Each structure stands twice: as structure tokens, then as C-alpha cells.
Amino acid sequence: MNAKGKYAKTKISRFTLLEMAVAMSIFAILMLILMQIFGATQAVWRSSSAKADTAASVRAALDLLEDGISSALPLDSNDAGKSCFFYDKSKQNTSDFFLWFPTTLSFQMSGAITKNVEEAYILDNNNLYVSFTKDTATTTEYLLLENVISCNLEIYNSDYSKWNNTQKLPGIVIIELETLLDDEQIKNKYETLKSSSDYTNASDEQKREMRSSLTNVSKRIIYVQASKLND
């Protein structure tokens, strides 16, 4: 039997329309699953990246706060009746947040290195600013941290009693910063949440819980080196 005769009776099998439809459906389902996995992976990466960026910015801000507060200056004999550390707890988490103290640290102002400047922190429209003033003549202000939702301070004397005397340096300052994660989708979610009636009517603690998945909370304990000179 020649080759032609050998394969003459071979039947060529082709896919039916039904088989093609089933195959395409399976392919579409697999592609959908892969796209969902890719989207979820991208969301996790974006969230992790936002948390890392926010944590780095907050850490830098807390480092500057720690350097300044730990080096705060006490009053001397010529400063009777004046304040050496000012903070109004009733205005924390508001646009009137204000923390002020003189410090021994050196800063570059107007092209020159100067020390013993007044350092102030102001929260305005969810942005934390720091300013340095020398002899009330020269003030230099910087944007320190964006997207600050809340800023809380707990201040104690060296013996862990509550501090309430602006003419004496505190011994311990605990700072807590709550910041919105640096991601546009998260910012949009926060704006939507903030405009909802449930959020508007909630207590401060309830609001904090409702936005917890969108924010990063960092805390730093700072010891004031010169507080022992109060006595």
C-alpha cells in the first residue's frame, strides 16, 4: 500500500463551534482571574508604598521635634515671669494648634549660622509648619509635614506629674501624629468619609476609628534634657 492509500481513510478532526465557545469561555475566566490577582497585587503594593512614604516623612518630622524639644532652654534670672515652653492642649487637633519654645540648637538663618532661637510648630489646614525666630527680628518658616489629621501632645514633669507651668520646662513630652497615607485614592476616600453624615455626627473617638484604615499613627517619647535646671 502506498502512502496515498495509507492515509486516504484518515479522518481530520476539527473543533466544533460548541468546543470553541467553551475554550474561549475558559480562557476569558482565566484572564479575569489573572487581572483580579494583578489588581489586588497592585493595590497591596500601592498601600505598602504609601505607608512607607508616609512613615519616612513622619519620622523626619518627629526627629526634628525631638531635637528641638530635648534641647529646650529654661528661663534664667533675667526672664522672671516669662514663658519657656508654651502649649495649649485645648487647641490640639485644630487650626489653632501651637507649640513654642526656645532651643539651644543652631540653625542657618539669612545665610548665617545662629543658635538659641525660638522654635514654633503650627498646624494649619492639615499641614504642620515649623518656624525659627531670632530676637523677634528674623523668622524662617518651613512646611514640615503634609496631610496631618491630628496632633496630640501629652506633657509631664520629670516626676511624671502633669505639666501645667509655662515658666518651667517639662520633663517628658509624648507626641502623637496621625497622618493620611500619601495616596490619591486614599485621600479621595477620606474626603468622601469626611463629608458623610455618619462621620460628621460621630464623636472624636468614633471618627478616629472610622478613618483608621486610611491613616498612619506615630508616637514619640521625648525627654527634655534641661528640665532638671528648673529647680
Q: What is the pLDDT of residue 25?
A: 86
211 Cβ contact list (under 8 Å, min separation 6): 149, 190, 193, 199
With beta carbons less than 8 A apart as the criterion, state whether 175 and 63 touch: no
Q: What is the pLDDT of residue 9?
A: 56
User: What whole-number distance in Å separates Cα of residue 209 and Cα of residue 217?
Assistant: 12
> SS3 of 62, please?
helix
Query: Of 156, 142, 205, nearest to 178 (Cα)?
Result: 205
Name residue 109's beta-bridge partners: 112
User: What whole-number distance in Å separates Cα of residue 51 and Cα of residue 155?
Assistant: 28
Q: What is the pLDDT of residue 136?
A: 62
List, for the chain, all residue ranges whose pLDDT scores fall below the cut of 50. none
Q: What is the pLDDT of residue 62?
A: 94
> SS3 of 161, please?
coil
Query: Of 123, 117, 120, nearest to 137 (Cα)?
Result: 117
With beta carbons less than 8 A apart as the criterion, state whether 190 and 231 touch: no
Pairing of strands 172-180, 148-156: antiparallel
Q: What is the pLDDT of residue 222?
A: 94
User: What whole-number distance in Å separates Cα of residue 42 and Cα of residue 22?
Assistant: 30
| Number of Cβ within a 10 Å radius of residue 163 | 21
Q: What is the pLDDT of residue 52?
A: 78
